[in-house]
Amino acid sequence: MNDEKMKSDKRRPRVLISGGGTGGHIFPALSIANILRDKLDAEILFVGADNRMEMERVPAAGYRITGLPVAGFDRRHLMRNFSVLLKLRKSIALARKIVKDFKPDIAIGVGGYASGPTLKAAQKAGVPTLLQEQNSYPGVTNKLLAKNAERICVAYTETERFFPPEKIVLTGNPVRKDLFNPSLTPESARTGFGLDADRPTVLFVGGSLGALTINESVEAGLNRLVKAGLQVIWQTGKNFGDRAERAANGLKGVVATPFISDMASAYAAASLVVARAGAGTISELELLGKPCVLVPSPNVAEDHQTKNAMALSTRDAAVLVTDADARNNLVDTVLRLMKEPSRLSGMSENISRLALRDSDEKIADEVVKILESK
């Protein structure tokens, strides 16, 4: 059965996609959904977590979504987890009803709080499942779901330690298509930010909420960066905007903003990127060939961002600065690297070699294979 045959079938294939919580989960999920909609004319339903960003982003992209009251465990305050367990129990019951009512032909999990109950409910109902594992070190949920999954699409090699080897397919992580604008040059991108077209520029980025350690490191070292002749694009997140504005006041060549809508231009303008080590961010940096300093967040399950960053730093494709060391060493590291253009060039070549392209197409192909086999 080929794609055109599937499209012509009276009943459109039904695809359940679950996960979210961060852009790193939502953007890949939407990329996969777009391909399946175009390829198979699939009927798609998303399942996310109530009050998380997917409940806004997914409908804005034109898809239906149902929310579960599921929440993450509080590892620091164990007594607060009683309510989390109640929410999980309710979410499991709701997930079973969603699967029963929607009758999916396949369920896809992209990570995030909602994917566990949803994929487990699908597996118990006999629905084939595909897992998309974004990180070099899988989370507990995907490890538990792997046994009964049809396929596990990964972004890193050497995942055989965690998953059945015969189920693994190396696909990479889907990223936003709008990051790739061949008409952008570093000069035009810098000019678009009101910066000097020819001066080296460092992009500091910490996500929609910001990364406190990165922000405070930049705040303390901003004058040193400017005195060294560098320009700075500083994406602060919404929680640090006022402090960043005060720190940047009167400094030429500094753009401080809570949010950057045009990340393609921000990446293009950057001679060096400083960021957290989420799987989505790393995939973007690999595909764009950007030299980078990675500051893994310590507030993630099983410290998977450190493992993501090490997968690059051990290949001289990135420099790793721990969160604990960042306030003392981050700006010094940036200043040192910016004096070594040959090192930056080498890092760019090395990180480009790790890129896996057309990931959304590859994952969609695996979905088609599973549907054909059933």
Residue 372 gets the label, from left (phi > 0), alpha (psi -120 to 50) or beta, of: alpha
Shared domain check, 41 and 12: yes
Shared domain check, 123 and 29: yes
Shared domain check, 240 and 93: no
Shared domain check, 341 and 243: yes
> Per mean pLDDT, which range of 51-55, 61-65, 206-210 is the poorest?
206-210
Shared domain check, 333 and 188: yes
Strands 292-294 and 272-275 turn out to be parallel
* Structure-model confidence comparison of residues 89 and 224, the more confident one: 224
Predicted local confidence at residue 283, as pLDDT: 94
Shared domain check, 27 and 8: yes
Shared domain check, 235 and 120: no
Q: Which helix (H) or strand (E) holds 130?
A: strand 129-133
Indicate whether 203 pLDDT > 70: yes
Predicted local confidence at residue 302, as pLDDT: 74
Predicted local confidence at residue 73, as pLDDT: 61
Shared domain check, 188 and 148: no
In the block, residue with structure tokens 């995942």: 159
Contact in structure between 105 and 371 (CB atoms under 8 Å) = yes
Predicted TM-score (pTM) of this structure:
0.87
Shared domain check, 228 and 186: yes
Shared domain check, 212 and 159: no
Shared domain check, 159 and 95: yes
Shared domain check, 98 and 144: yes
Confidence class for position 325, pLDDT limits 50, 70, 90: very high
CATH of residue 304: 3.40.50.2000
Q: What is the distance between the terminal CA atoms of the chain, rounded to a whole angstrom? A: 11
pLDDT (average), residues 141-153: 94
pLDDT (average), residues 62-66: 96
Instruction: Write the DSSP symbol of residue 141.
Output: H
> Per mean pLDDT, which range of 67-76, 287-296, 334-343 is the poorest?
67-76
Which tokens is 205 given? Answer: 């980025």
Total structural domains in the chain?
Answer: 2
Q: Which of 192, 140, 173 is nearest to 286 (CA)?
A: 173
What are 265-324's pLDDT values in tens digits? 999 999 999 999 998 899 999 999 999 999 999 887 778 899 999 999 999 999 999 999
Domain of 213 in residue numbering reads as 178-353
